[in-house]
Amino acid sequence: MKASNFAALSAATLSLIASSATATTLLKIEFREDDQAGFNLWPTSSPLTGTSSTANFSTPTTTSGTTAITMTATTSLGQAFNRGTISDGTPAGFTYSNLYRDLLIASTPTGRLTLTASGLDANTAYNFTLFAWDPGDSTDRVREWTVETGSGVPASAQLNWVDPLVDNNTFAMNFEITTDATGSFSLSDTSANPQGSAINGFILEQIPEPSTALLAVFGAFGLFSRRRS
């Protein structure tokens, strides 16, 4: 195989893998108002009251076709509300003001929130982004969230609400979470001082299996080799 031809095929291969590796968005949820572009509101049919609230979402690409998300508080769920005075364009490129102002909290300073997803494919990796910032709180405390059911990379992540706002993901925690044998995972606020346990919203994405892309790559190499022989 000539070097130039091999280079061309390699470039095509990398392009194929990249295009095949695009994650599929299953859910983009906010908690207070349906006002952030691209996000859907937590359904009003599942009131965020008491100690727990579960909503079912259609996810056709999962085996079950339905993913259940449960929000739980160790005390009680506080009514979702708007908080803060942030605005789009400050800093330049920031567009998530409506998302970050939507706030679901655990009532009382000692309350902790847990988010559980179920109905997903078993032993399967998903991308999960958790937005967790109270723009009206300037307390200098580290907030930590930990994957407790399933396994996460990272296993836990931290942020501090007094860090400077840089972009849409400044106060987002990103995990690659592998579900357990029942197709579930959960994350909890495990901060040393839980006061202010809050969630703005989340994104759940399905990571594609690499097998299809790899089979196509091997097939391309095999076809090229046969034509050169």
Task: Give residue-wise pLDDT tens across range 175-209.
Answer: 999 999 999 999 999 999 888 799 999 999 999 97
DSSP state of 172: E
The reported pTM is 0.84
Q: Is residue 35, in this structure, part of any structural domain at all?
A: yes
| pLDDT tens digits, one per residue of 90-139 | 999 999 999 999 999 999 888 999 999 999 999 999 999 999 999 988 88
> In angstroms, rounded to a whole number, what is the distance separating the alpha carbons of residues 44 and 35?
15
| pLDDT tens digits, one per residue of 13-41 | 444 344 446 899 999 999 989 999 999 99
**pLDDT of 21:** 60
Q: Is residue 66, in this structure, part of any structural domain at all?
A: yes
| Start-end of H helices in 21-142 | 97-101
Q: Is residue 14, in this structure, part of any structural domain at all?
A: no
Q: Using only C-alpha atoms, what is the Rg of the chain?
A: 21
Across-strand partners of 188? 114, 146
Residue 60 has pLDDT above 50, yes or no: yes
| pLDDT tens digits, one per residue of 135-170 | 988 888 899 999 999 999 999 999 999 999 999 999
Q: 211-228 vs 3-20: helix axis angle to the nearest 10?
A: 160
**pLDDT of 62:** 94
Please calculate the CA angle 73-63-43 and round it to the nearest 5 degrees. Answer: 40
Residue 172 has pLDDT above 50, yes or no: yes
**pLDDT of 223:** 44
**pLDDT of 52:** 97
Domain ranges, residue 79? 23-228
Structural domains of the chain, count: 1
Q: Specify the range with the lowest mean pLDDT, choosing from 11-15, 51-55, 79-83, 194-198.
A: 11-15
Q: Is residue 4, in this structure, part of any structural domain at all?
A: no
pLDDT band at 214 (very low <50, low <70, confident <90, very high): low
**pLDDT of 102:** 93
Q: Is residue 102, in this structure, part of any structural domain at all?
A: yes
Q: Is residue 10, in this structure, part of any structural domain at all?
A: no
Q: Is residue 93, in this structure, part of any structural domain at all?
A: yes
> How many other CB atoms are found less than 10 A from the CB of residue 138?
8
> In angstroms, rounded to a whole number, what is the distance separating the alpha carbons of residues 105 and 79?
7
Tokens of 80: 């979702």
Across-strand partners of 152? 177
Q: Is residue 5, in this structure, part of any structural domain at all?
A: no
> In angstroms, rounded to a whole number, what is the distance separating the alpha carbons of residues 130 and 109?
21
